[in-house]
A = this chain, B = another copy of it.
Amino acid sequence: MKKHSVVIVDDHLLFAQSLQGLVNAFDEFEVLYHVKNGSELIKKLLESENVPDIILLDINMPVMNGFETMEWIKENRPSIQVLALSMDDHEETIIKMLRLGAKGYLLKDIHPEIFYKALNEVISNGIYYSERVATTLLNSLHGGDEKETSKGKQLKDTELTFLKLACTEMTYKEIAQEMCLSPKTIDGYRESLFKHFKVKSRIGLVLYAIRNNMVNSK
């Protein structure tokens, strides 16, 4: 029987290498290679005709993160099943990743047996949610009444730019200059995001953005 081929994308070499050992220990799977980020993955995919069955994709990576990478894969290699593999258990992140086309979302603190189960599920059903992820998603659906407008909606470019600048020591006046907009327009973005994220202050905005990986805090 031919083994299912797996590629690991994770900037933590030690983890990637260790995980490769774990996956290779499963009879049905084998790791083709592992790379440090999205750019390297694309380079490898482009120069090789050996298309993997599954990609295990980390989200927080320097150079090219999991979201950008996922977009590229969906555009260019839609046949590959992608399993997101992250430490980030925030709703916003999970939904974003699944919406981009990931076939599952695994948290790095899962038990290895669950991991094995997930690989098999993705091969057969094409989809897998770990328990905590499923719970999170369920909460997201049942928890409120304005999910479409709050969690679901993604920010416009200009709002995202503002958000990133708001997560710095710049004042709103400086942000306005930087974005070539009136301070009053910036004020509008601020109020809009306050409502959207249900926060009361710029500090809240920063915390929300960091918690949900909308800006990279480190």
Q: Which residues of A contact B (CB under 8 A)?
A: 11-15, 17-19, 21-22, 25, 36, 85, 87-88, 90, 106, 108-112, 115, 166-169, 171, 199-204, 206-207, 210-211, 217-218
Contacts and interface: CB of A to CB of B under 8 A. Distances in A.
B11 A22 contact: no
How many copies of the chain does the oligomer comprise? 2
18 contacts: A13-B111, A14-B109, A14-B112, A15-B15, A17-B22, A17-B111, A17-B112, A18-B18, A18-B112, A21-B21, A36-B109, A167-B207, A169-B199, A202-B203, A207-B217, A211-B217, A211-B218, A217-B217
Q: Which of A11, A19, A218 is most buried by chain B, counting CB atoms within 10 A of its CB? A: A218
A206 B199 CA distance: 16
A90 B218 CA distance: 9
A174 to B, nearest CB: 11
B204 A206 contact: no
B206 A207 contact: yes
Contact of A87 (B12, B88, B167, B217): B12
Contact of A169 (B14, B166, B204): B204
